[in-house]
Structure 1
């Protein structure tokens, strides 16, 4: 399943492992909140690129049995130092692509490499080359990579994200908007990024933040989510909106929110969509 073509609106999804390690609990909570899709980063406490094939098949069975779609496989690909062997990251990408195919998702979330100790300008060409190689691999598998902006990798600011997307210039590399991460990078998400990155935007990660404080429910931070959602509604956006609230803890490779606070996050986002004249699909 994928987001409905031609129908404007947001298909509610969420990072299941921010709710609980058990996929059955993840699906039950998401269903209670009105979601029809799940974003898979880990299951049973194991990251998707390390999950055994039989466990991936078991997960696919559980998700299908709940009547859910998989909005994306949230892989950690590209959240490694640029000096790491490329072959290792390509092998992990192959695992993520295989998982996406098994789960019936066309999207795999990726990042644009850490470059500790090196100026961004000095690594730009290598980042674009490596991301292009990842995109070629995804295209060959008939899948699409979603580049997520993230502090600590090349694609942290709106300009750097645009560098990667425009430099690779592949339909197999699109953009997953994360307002909270833009706030952490010192950007004003809507003012600084929307016009620049809207041509590439295919997916919405729902996260908000306050500088020096951390993540907060959608609309309670500096992420300009109301402006962004209103513009997407006006643009006729049709796609997934995936809750990644980080309301309890946040770390380098993920965060946790818990069932109760996940409900707080879902209701906050739904309120913004209604306020902005949008629809939940």
Structure 2
């Protein structure tokens, strides 16, 4: 195992709308942290793929002017709001839009999920999900994109064997990899650190989230202060050669899957405090301390 004192450096970023709705405030949060990367999900409550051409052009200009890069765009493809009964054309259309927009942003990663069920028998659900993901992956590969599947909602949400089966169904294409979120297990009923041990060779992007609770109710905490074994996950990632970025997703101002946002969500201080706590946690791990 790699000693904590030799953990390599890496790029820190955060999901912007977790800091504030407006791009200006999202960039302010990144600037206050001294970071140079911003993961995009929505601007003023509008998903990246649904921004008007004019609004998106302003986003590109503002990000470039701020000297910030975008490591990943979080799509709604196959997510918790799009079960397997959703017309497949909806996701194909979003991917086509994002192919152009990712090119303008200079990013290749697009976050996806894997279609929650909507009454289909298990074998039918599996066949449909694997078929759709394989077709999306082929389309992404032609566009120069990499789909990163998050351990969140859908057929391959929480079982490592299903995640690996999904990668196989896409013929091992480099255009499909995994996104590991340290904190999703409390909401979906599994231990994240255990899942990570099975999938780490295929992880290309990481979300940092922590909390307590169970599938009925969750309380989100600063990283390292909950039950999600964030420090253990970080040690494992680095011990097994992970070189990607870490992106904070505090769930303090915004929890999209619950349809909840803080009415005072333009205050970026909680997001900044979250980033500072992650920095301290990493510094402790590098010097051989505990979480």
Q: State whether TM-score is above 0.5.
A: yes
Say whether the 8 Å CA contact 1:9–1:236 is kept in structure 2. no
1:119 shift after superposition: 5.1
- Cα distance, 1:134–1:253 mapped onto 2, change above 3 Å: farther
Q: Secondary structure of 1:203's partner?
A: strand
Separation of aligned partners in 1, 2:33 and 2:189: 32
TM-score (norm 2): 0.86
RMSD of aligned Cα (Å)? 2.0
Quote the residue 1:128 is aligned against: 130
1:121 shift after superposition: 4.5
1:145 shift after superposition: 0.7
1:239 to 2:240 alignment: no
Determine which of 130, 152, 176 is the counterpart of 2:179. 176
Moved over 6 A (4+): none
1:172 shift after superposition: 0.3
1:85 to 2:87 alignment: yes
Separation of aligned partners in 2, 1:67 and 1:75: 23
Q: Secondary structure of 1:246's partner?
A: coil
TM-score (norm 1): 0.89
1:234 shift after superposition: 2.3
Structure 1 residues without counterparts, runs of 5 or longer: 1-6
1:205 shift after superposition: 0.6
1:188 shift after superposition: 1.1
1:45 to 2:45 alignment: yes
Say whether the 8 Å CA contact 1:182–1:189 is kept in structure 2. yes
Q: Secondary structure of 2:114's partner?
A: coil
Quote the residue 2:155 is aligned against: 154
Structure 2 residues without counterparts, runs of 5 or longer: 1-6
1:201 to 2:203 alignment: yes
Say whether the 8 Å CA contact 2:37–2:69 is kept in structure 1. yes
Deviations 1:28-57 (A, max 9, x none): 111111221001111132111101122222
1:253 shift after superposition: 7.3
Q: Secondary structure of 2:152's partner?
A: coil
- Cα distance, 1:11–1:253 mapped onto 2, change above 3 Å: farther
1:72 shift after superposition: 0.6
